[in-house]
Structure 1
Amino acid sequence: MSSSTPAWSERELPLFFTAWRTDWRDERLSPCDYLDFEGGLRFVLAAAWLFCPETVEYRGCVFLKERFRQDTVDDWFTNLGDDRRRIEAVVNHVELWDMFGNTPLADDDRLGAELPQLALALGECWRGVLSARHPDREITVEVSGEEDGSYGPTVTFCAPPAVPASG
């Protein structure tokens, strides 16, 4: 499992949260308090599928269950040959702007500006989940963002090509 140092050791609180905490006039309130006060349990339960996604194994690869379609993966194998790393990276590619297409990202809360931090958190969670589920694989989780903002933050994962055993 590929790993990096934790990216969230010095994170900033989201603007919507600091505004909410100011409205309550209590600087001790934490993001966990926000979830409780604002009835966030429903959202957290749904978010579990994002942060701890179900995976499937197919043709020697690991895929996000929600993004896996056998015929699509078979098409990628036809187009890319046996390049499992590229196939996994393409199929598992999640663009956060697309994921939150029904959410205003440029309003006063500036939620779009918070997506890079979300991508980092998602990447760390996926590293842990995939490492626990597949300890024998060298899975790499990649978090990126387009400099021009065209696609926003993305998260994907893939494994390096299998190295043939020398004999």
Structure 2
Amino acid sequence: MTSSKPSWSDRRLPAFFTSWRTDWKNDELTPANYLDFEGGLRFVLAAAWLFCPETVEYRGGVFLKEQFRQENVDNWFTNLGDDRERVEAVTNQVKLWDTFVNTPLTDDDQLGEELPQLALALGECWQGVLSARYPDLEITVEVSDEEDGSYGPTVTFWTSPAVSPFG
């Protein structure tokens, strides 16, 4: 799975949710109901930083504030020959396996199998948020999942000057 314009169009309800809904014997319950019943507000508030991340601008690039370390970015600029887009792409990577390292991903809830959908949702949100935040830049969001499964679902982005339709 690799996508430069992520689109989360194949929305399947997560296994843990369908099981929860079955336990309540109510097929009309929605994911929003789950958040309310299970005290999800704390998690949603924390997730806002994942879906609508803070960013910083540095050396002509845009970086996730949480991932940004000036020395690290400077080293990438040196190693990649001042290729700003590649530096942004490497620095801005969010590997979902690393994000949820303390969550069992292979239990009965099948949460590991849900991560590709989460990656697409995250990528779609970043595309919209960053495009609105930086209207003078072309934002490219990439969602990937390594074929060999070595890194799991990963989301990153880079910027380039917006191309004017008027030349």
TM-score by length of structure 2 reads 0.91
- Tell me the number of residue pairs that the alignment of Structure 1 and Structure 2 aligns: 160
Mapped partners of 2:45, 2:113: distance in 1: 24
Aligned to 2:71: 71
Mapped partners of 1:162, 1:21: distance in 2: 45
Paired-residue identity, %? 78
Aligned to 1:13: 13
- Are the counterparts in 2 of residues 123 and 155 from structure 1 also a CA contact under 8 Å? yes
Residues 72-151 of structure 1: pairs in structure 2 closer than 5 A: 72-151=72-151
Task: Tell which has more relative contact order, 1 or 2 (C-alpha 8 A, sep 6+).
Answer: 2
- Are the counterparts in 1 of residues 140 and 158 from structure 2 also a CA contact under 8 Å? yes
Per the alignment, in what secondary structure is the counterpart of residue 66 of structure 2?
A: helix
Over the residues paired in the alignment, what is the CA RMSD in angstroms? 1.6
| Superposition deviation, residue 162 in structure 1 | 9.1
Deviations 1:22-60 (A, max 9, x none): 000000000000000000000000000000000000000
| Superposition deviation, residue 93 in structure 1 | 0.6
Aligned to 1:55: 55
Query: Residue type of the partner of 1:124?
Result: E
- Are the counterparts in 1 of residues 136 and 162 from structure 2 also a CA contact under 8 Å? no
Dislocated runs of 4+, deviation >3 Å:
160-163
Aligned to 1:40: 40
Aligned to 1:26: 26
Mapped partners of 2:147, 2:161: distance in 1: 29
Structure 1 segments unaligned to the other structure (5+ residues): none
Mapped partners of 1:148, 1:16: distance in 2: 26
| Superposition deviation, residue 80 in structure 1 | 1.3
Mapped partners of 2:162, 2:76: distance in 1: 18
Mapped partners of 1:109, 1:30: distance in 2: 17
Query: Residue type of the partner of 2:22?
Result: T
Mapped partners of 2:104, 2:113: distance in 1: 11
Aligned to 1:157: 157
Structure 2 segments unaligned to the other structure (5+ residues): none
| Superposition deviation, residue 149 in structure 1 | 1.3
Mapped partners of 2:162, 2:90: distance in 1: 18
| Superposition deviation, residue 160 in structure 1 | 3.7
| Superposition deviation, residue 10 in structure 1 | 3.0
Mapped partners of 1:74, 1:162: distance in 2: 24
Which has the larger share of strand? Answer: 2
Per the alignment, in what secondary structure is the counterpart of residue 137 of structure 2?
A: coil
Mapped partners of 1:161, 1:126: distance in 2: 17
Per the alignment, in what secondary structure is the counterpart of residue 29 of structure 2?
A: coil
Mapped partners of 1:53, 1:161: distance in 2: 21
